Each structure stands twice: as structure tokens, then as C-alpha cells.
Structure 1
């Protein structure tokens, strides 16, 4: 055996791509070394290893693999050469385990708890909402958690702004983006997130103004570790998304009075709805007009042909008449009214919708005993699942009502009353004079008698 050698190769951390240990003295490959030893000599060779800073895995054991072969340098005639056992494995492995504070079983059972929340009732209004923050509280109420990582995924329209954390919190984050999503990877107290520890952070994003195609923006938070027994926690938020628009509706002369008591011909009335709009995301916006045209099967309004020529008239809607008296106000929410409905598409920044109609006086005289209100309504409509009004002004209106007050009060003629009162007063005065005359009030003797009685009393 004097001339027999064992050639061997030592490979470090064979289960990992990124090596956690290297040879201290090796100018070639730092994680592998080849050497030999003579079998006949009782000599051991020592190799120093350097443990790298833990960045990937501080839990699983480091596997050191040794591969060896036998080399005979001299052959003696007639003597057999030494060989290795043909059925034995020509390699051997050694495990280098990390020291962990994980109890007697040396298995760390972390217990991660994740609490996170957005602002209450938060809705992302594209074009108005400029930023949003997600508050996160992460706790470990179990044993140590190794290489704890928090991963967030979110739409590309959310731009990572920064992270707010306590000064001593060891939290490092890096963001990256793909063609469809953005990601944020945060290292939480690497390498060890100790037992009974917690950290609170706030992650902020700037919100883009570009149109967002989905109804919800999904933000996902996933926290995991590299313990032998995995403990992952997960939260998902579906943020409602609306696109901003600004629509202001007003009406000229919201109350119009028409006195029909002395009219014999129909009265013409005009209505004007004014719309001012900012619509940067091209929402489909319509003005819906509701116009009462019949009461108790009597037509009260007749629209002129040129009115609402750019609006789409919908099918007439008839409502059954209930068993109750007609109220003094007629609008399309009442069962007594038969109405016409028009939809006017709003496309311009400023737009006027004009309506001209004739009031049918003869029919109104039969319906109106004293006074009544005809209510014409205008309502701005858009898809509220996709769009939202952005103005905070108090005078923003999407619903306007115009009133036409019909007066049919009978004229009170005071002349007969005055004449009758005058004649009655004169007759009453004559009657009193007649009674006094009959009683002798106007005779001289009666007057003297009265004077005598007064002198006697004195």
C-alpha cells in the first residue's frame, strides 16, 4: 500500500446555488478543492472554512460532499493490486448544522400574524386620488422565524413611493416591475425575526392618472420564511376603482307661473337645461328628461316638433290610475301621470338642452280647480360602477326639477257685496228712524218732559 493513494474532491454546500461556506485558502473554485492522501501514512489534512453572511437560507444544514478514487502508482508482478469495494459508494456526505434557538427538537415553529389595512372605505378615483398607504403590522408569536420575507404584488398604475418604519426596524425593500404587475420584496429582520417580536410599517404608492381597465385594483401581501416547517400568511385587497368626472346641471327659470283663468288659447312655455361637464375618461353621460303629458287621459302638454331633436325618445310609459284623488303636483313618479321620456347624450364641455311645449288650456281648466304644479325632471346618468363625481362643491346637481304652476282661481267680484251692504245699511237706518218716530222721539212735549225730569232729579 506504500504506492497507493486516495484522490478526493471536497464540494461545499452542494444543495445550494449560492454557497454559504467557502474554503479559506483556495485560489481556484472557493467551494471545491481536490487533493490526495497516501494510504500507508497516518496523516489527516485540515481545511478551514469561512461561513458567509446568511442571505438565502440559515436553517437547512450545509452539505459537504467528498468524492474519492483509488490510485495505484506501482504494479508488482504476481501480486494483486488493492481495489475499493465495488459495491460501496465512492462518496460521503457530512452535514454542518446551524445552531438555532428552537427548543429541544431544534425545529423552529414560527407563528406569524399579519394585520394590514387601507384607509376606511377607500375607493381609488382615477384622476383625483393621488396616493394611498397600506399599514402593516407583522408579529411572530412563535419560535424564531428565519429569512422572513414579505412580498407584495400590485398593478403597474401604483408607483412605489416609500416605506415608513421605526428607526430601529431592520426592514429593507426593493421594487421591480413586469409587463403586467409590479412587485415589492421586503426582508424582515434578516436573518432572524425573533420570537415575540413585531414590526409595523406603512407602504405608500403614488396613483397614476392613466385609465385603469379593471373594476378593482388587487393588492396582495404574502409573508413567508425558510423554517423547516413553513408558516406563510396572506392578505388580499380588492380596491374599488372609479374614473373621475365632473357634471353640473342647472335649469333656467325653475318655477314658471301660468294663469289660465282668462285664457282661451294654448300657452307656449320654454325650458332650458344647461350642462357643464369635465369628462377626461370619455364616460357615457346622458341627460334623461321626464315630461308629464297626460292626466286622467287628458293631454296637458304637447311638445313642438323641433324640441329635443338631438335626443332619443323612449317608449311611452303608462301607469295605472290608482283609486285616489289627483294631487296638486303632477310628476312622473305619480300613478296618475302618463309621461314621455327622452335621453340626451352629453358630449360637449358645455351643452344646452332646450324644450318648447304648448300647455293645452281647455284641458287644464277641466283638471285644475285652483292651482296645480306640472313637474318636468332632468337627471344626469352615467355608470356609477365605473365613474364617480369628483367635485366637492356643494352646489353640484345631477337632478333638477322645473315647475310649471297652473293658476285657475275664480275672480272674486266685490261690487255686489259692497252694493248689497250699502243698501242694507240704508234700510236699517230708515227702520231705526221709523221706530223712534213712532215712539214720539221727535215730538216737542216729549222733549220738555225729559228736561223736567232732569230738573226734578237735581
Structure 2
């Protein structure tokens, strides 16, 4: 056997030729290596939840070089922009208003050492109430590949260019969410909550009247327990009062768990104008979760 390395096709890369005792010779050609460079720039670095124009425009550009400087043909790359894809849950932004359209894909032709740009690609923040996460930044991820990129010479020679694996093929930026928590975007809330059981009994007009439940001291456990008399209460209530005199307490929540023989009826907001509370029943573990 014999092995020889040399540039047999004149493309600036070392090829390998292998000879054998069977009088056969095998030629292994090296593929051109391409370095792709990208820039990704938004028109703003943060989004306000209460803005009328809740959108961001981004510009992104590509250019490429080839290691041996022997490749003069254009290449075609495919790129994808993915929004808010590094977190669980429903995406908070979309390329189409109020729709689940979080991926933008296209092809772009690149000329050697010349920058090509795509400008003013706009995406929108969803309406409040369509998402819960108001704290973590929104990531914008740009990826690309050469799966459909072939120069005329590479096609005729059967050689497909490859990306430099050390350079990577992605770029990510983050758009901060301004959430009324000061210039550092760190929420410092002072949320205080209290809760008590109540009993609901129908009056003569059929309207439920709510009163505080009785408490009895449990000497063994050294704490007061709420007691209910079977047949007296038609509804058992749980009154929660929350106050916050500092930054918004985004994503704060509490859970009420109840025995299986207690049936969930519903909830009511006492102060509709000032509260933005969601209440829902979890089917799996007999719990009511408030957020």
C-alpha cells in the first residue's frame, strides 16, 4: 500500500491518493471550507409591556470567505430566525400579530467577501393575558446551513462546500422586557397576603351571605383550627387579601388544596378594577391555583 498527499485538483486543499496491491488507485478529494460571518441587530434593546407599538425590527447580514481563495462562485445558504425558543411555554412574540408564527426561513445568495443583508424584519409582542412570563428576556436566534449551497464547480466535481465546524452556525441576541421594575429591570416587590375561611349561607332571597368561620384552639397542636358544622354551611369560602406597595410581583402565585370530597364551585374577584388575578382548577391533584 502507498499513501500520497497533494493538491491533485488545484483547489488549494491537500487531497489523498491511496494505491493498493490490486493495482487500484483511490483518490480522496478535500472539500472547500467556508467561513460564514453574521451580524444580528435589533432597532431596540427592550420592549415595554404597555407600549402601543409593541414590535421590534431586526436587520441581519451575512458574508463568507473560503480558506484557499480559489473558490470564486456564489453560494446559497438557508437561514432560520426562531423567536423565544429557549424557554418552555407559549412564545410571547410572533412574526404575525397574535398568531403562533415564530420561525422565519429563507434562502440568500452570497458573493465571496461581499456582505448581503435582510432588513426590517418585524416581530410583535402578544397581548397581555396570552402569556405569563413577564420577566425573562426574549431570545432571537439566527441559524444557517449549506445544505442547499452548491457552486457550479462543486456540482460538476461532486464536491460540496462545508462550514468550518469551529466557527459555529448560529447567533443569538436577547430583547429585555421592561416590566415597571426600575432601570435595572429587577422586580423588588413587597407582596403581602392574608387568608381566612368563610361560610356561605343563603338568605331568604336566595343570595349567599358570607361570614367569617369560627376558630377553635387545638391545645395539642397549639394553633387555631377552622371548624365547620355539617349541614349548616352550603358553601365554604376562602378569602385572600393581597397588597403590594412596591414593584410588580410578576408570576407570584399560591395554591389551595382541598379534600377529594369537597367540590370546587368557582371564584370571584372582589376588586375587579385593580386586580389582574387568574384562578384555575388543576384536575390532577384537587388544587386551585391563583396567579
Indicate the TM-score class for this superposition, using the shorter chain for normalisation.
0.5 to 0.7
Residue in 1 aligned with 2:279? 173
Matched, 1:52 2:126: yes
Matched, 1:38 2:109: yes
Matched, 1:163 2:242: no
Residue in 2 aligned with 1:264? none
Residue in 2 aligned with 1:22? 94
Residue in 1 aligned with 2:286? 182
1:133 CA drift (Å): 2.5
The Cα offsets for residues 305-349 of structure 1, whole Å up to 9 and x where unpaired, read as: xxxxxxxxxxxxxxxxxxxxxxxxxxxxxxxxxxxxxxxxxxxxx
The Cα offsets for residues 269-293 of structure 1, whole Å up to 9 and x where unpaired, read as: xxxxxxxxxxxxxxxxxxxxxxxxx
Matched, 1:110 2:165: no
Report the secondary structure of 1:75's partner residue.
helix
CA distance in 2, matches of 1:37, 1:183: 52
Residue in 1 aligned with 2:153? 75
Unaligned runs of 5+ in 1: 188-458
Report the secondary structure of 2:264's partner residue.
strand
Q: State the superposition RMSD in angstroms.
A: 3.0
Correspondence list, 1:281-360, <5 A: none
CA distance in 2, matches of 1:20, 1:67: 20
Report the secondary structure of 1:59's partner residue.
coil
Correspondence list, 1:27-426, <5 A: 30-40=101-111, 42-46=115-119, 47-54=121-128, 55-70=131-146, 71-75=149-153, 84-118=163-197, 119-121=213-215, 122-161=226-265, 162-168=267-273, 169-178=275-284, 181-187=285-291
Do the aligned residues in 1 keep the contact of 2:181 with 2:247 (CA within 8 Å)? yes
1:83 CA drift (Å): 5.0
1:185 CA drift (Å): 2.6
Report the secondary structure of 1:45's partner residue.
strand
Q: Report the number of matched residues.
A: 182
Q: Which runs of 4+ in 1 moved over 4 A?
A: 80-83
Q: More helix by proportion, 1 or 2? A: 1
CA distance in 2, matches of 1:159, 1:82: 66
In structure 2, which of residues 68, 71, 83 is the aligned counterpart of residue 12 of structure 1?
A: 83
Do the aligned residues in 1 keep the contact of 2:214 with 2:227 (CA within 8 Å)? no
TM-score normalised over the length of structure 1? 0.35
The Cα offsets for residues 37-92 of structure 1, whole Å up to 9 and x where unpaired, read as: 222254321322122124221111111222212323222799x9865333111111
CA distance in 1, matches of 2:234, 2:160: 82
Q: Which has the higher contact order (CA 8 A, sep 6+)?
A: 2
1:96 CA drift (Å): 1.6
TM-score normalised over the length of structure 2? 0.54
